[in-house]
Amino acid sequence: MDVLMDREKWSESSKRSFAYYGSSMTCYENISYRCTKCSQPSVFTAEEQKIAYEIRKEYIWKIKTLCSVCHSNLELLRKKDKQFQEEWAKNKGALKADYKFLCAWLEILEDVPSYGKKAHFSMINMLTRLAHECV
């Protein structure tokens, strides 16, 4: 099912794109793709596109690459990483010698690239070094 576009609700950066000025499309259409993590067939629905581009103001050429399950798993990893960062900021001195904490955080950071996202190499290297010093 096609969903009517309202280009005036797009982000300012999307309004500077070819899609805003040069495209004759008037409706969002479902876009089929394969998840980059699990390779399952997925669909970026017309309704999801309307929400992404007109409500959340994402850039118009940004498309989904993860299925909903893998996207949820990645968001959970990001949430856990943020929790580790907050705990680290509060108690860095003691946590430098906490092997279990370091390894748990390291496992999360090493899993993120499998979802097609950039690795945080400097943090991975630091946590690896600290974990080795604990042993």
Helix (H, G, I), strand (E, B) or coil at 70: helix
Rounded Cα gap, residues 81 and 124, in angstroms: 12
Per DSSP, 52 falls in state: I
Rounded Cα gap, residues 128 and 135, in angstroms: 11
Rounded Cα gap, residues 109 and 132, in angstroms: 17
104 is written with which tokens? 């748990």
Q: What is the pLDDT of residue 38?
A: 97
pLDDT at 1 over 80: no
Residue bearing tokens 């500077």: 16
Q: What is the pLDDT of residues 63-76, one digit of tens each?
A: 899 999 999 999 99
The residue-averaged pLDDT of 94-105 equals: 96
114 is written with which tokens? 């499998």
Rounded Cα gap, residues 34 and 44, in angstroms: 10
pLDDT at 88 over 90: yes
Q: What is the pLDDT of residue 2?
A: 81
Q: What is the pLDDT of residues 17-27, one digit of tens each?
A: 888 888 888 99
| Greater pLDDT, 19 or 114 | 114
pLDDT at 112 over 90: yes
Q: What is the pLDDT of residues 27-66, one digit of tens each?
A: 999 999 999 999 999 999 999 999 999 999 999 999 899 9
Q: Are 37 and 66 in contact (CB under 8 A)?
A: yes
Rounded Cα gap, residues 23 and 40, in angstroms: 30
